[in-house]
Chains A and B, each alone.
Chain A
């Protein structure tokens, strides 16, 4: 019964043409390296060019770092493709992130993580969901 509910949920969450979704969880800073390798492999397998994969890896690493620095309980990353777009959800139990901030001055000490994410991705959205706060990023091939 529980399994049925999860499957129904997954279908409702994703468009019918969505390809397979790969997922990885992270809990501590030493997980970040493996998380980047996961994103690298999953995005490359979906046809994203090496240059674009580098940007996606950077963005996911920034978001996961944000989770580890400011929330408890770690998080998880889902990656999938739709058409020529690659999507990544970074899900954690933190508050909704404020987007739209400018890149801090070069000599500012803090506050660049999310600005970097917004700079390198084609689209960044944040929403609250029952599973947590979802930051969804998109990069075109």
Chain B
């Protein structure tokens, strides 16, 4: 099994990026490439981190950088489905709250 994988699924106006494996320094180039392409291509990017076993500050760096790029153009990036150690690191850094999708964003439906 690959160390880290990022798959994208596109619907009009929205891209879901599904991450699996371990998101660390070795994964950073791929994460950066995939997320920066996603925030250029859709107004809403949902990053599903539910399949990640591990994420550290280099993964957080990729998420926050993409979040900033999205915000700069009026777009949004959210992170969903965190659990275990990934939820822990999102929680202690405040990034879980920063990237939590609002319950009332209709672009997240379906």
A55 nearest CB across to chain B (Å)? 7
Confirm or deny: B98 has a beta carbon within 8 angstroms of a beta carbon on chain A: yes
Confirm or deny: A96 has a beta carbon within 8 angstroms of a beta carbon on chain B: no
B88 touches A55 (CB 8 A): yes
B11 nearest CB across to chain A (Å)? 27
Please, how many residues of chain B have a CB less than 8 angstroms from a CB on the other chain? 26
Confirm or deny: A82 has a beta carbon within 8 angstroms of a beta carbon on chain B: no
Given A54-B88, A58-B85, A58-B88, do A106 and B94 touch, yes or no (CB 8 Å)? yes
A106 touches B95 (CB 8 A): yes
- Chain B positions within 8 Å of A113 at CB level: 56-57
- Chain A positions within 8 Å of B65 at CB level: 109
Which of B19-27, B36-44, B102-110 forms contacts with chain A?
B19-27
Measured in the bound complex, the distance between the Cα atoms of B56 and A62 in whole Å is 7
A103 touches B92 (CB 8 A): yes
Given A32-B26, A105-B94, do A58 and B64 touch, yes or no (CB 8 Å)? no
Chain B contacts to A: CB under 8 angstroms: 3, 22, 24-26, 28, 54, 56-58, 60-61, 64-65, 67-68, 84-85, 88-89, 92-95, 97-98
